Amino acid sequence: MTTCPKKLICTVRNTAFEVGKIRLLLYTDRGLLLGDLSPECLKLSASEIRTKLRERACAMLQDDNPDLDSQRDSALELLQAAQEHVRFPAAFDWWLKKFEIFSEESQEVEATRSGLSDYYVLERSRLQKMLDDDRD
């Protein structure tokens, strides 16, 4: 059973998007998961991602939400992450992840051919987009 829904909310723009074969995740330099990243936001430059995170955090802080403490904490996390350096996965990471997906799909085809398709379920592969601290 796949544990990932077909639609997710992008952490950077707070918009819904459909998940492809590779689920993109955004992490801080400390390894804390910020959330999902849409394919559109993956195309943004590092400075654009940081700007969008700051804009979203400021909007969250100005919102009159009854669950203000939780929203405030989330906004502060986004502001902190917006100060960090964005590191994109290397080309090798993409190649490796695509090879892994091809291998999984080949196994699924073989399982279907041999009648084991009811017992064989794939999870989405994950590729992380990391936020690294550049204050060395």
Residues 52-66 have pLDDT tens digits of 999 999 988 887 766
Per-residue pLDDT at 18: 92
Tokens matching residue 115: 């009648």
Q: Give this prediction's pTM.
A: 0.62
User: Is position 1 within any domain?
Assistant: no
User: Is position 109 within any domain?
Assistant: yes
User: Is position 2 within any domain?
Assistant: no
**For the chain, what is the domain count?**
1
Per-residue pLDDT for 131 more than 80?
A: no
Q: Residue 78: what are its φ and ψ, rounded to 5°?
A: -65, -40
Tokens matching residue 30: 């400390």
Per-residue pLDDT for 111 more than 80?
A: no
Provide the residue range defining the domain that includes 87.
7-132
Alpha helices in the chain (DSSP H): 39-42, 46-62, 68-82, 91-113
Tokens matching residue 10: 């992008």
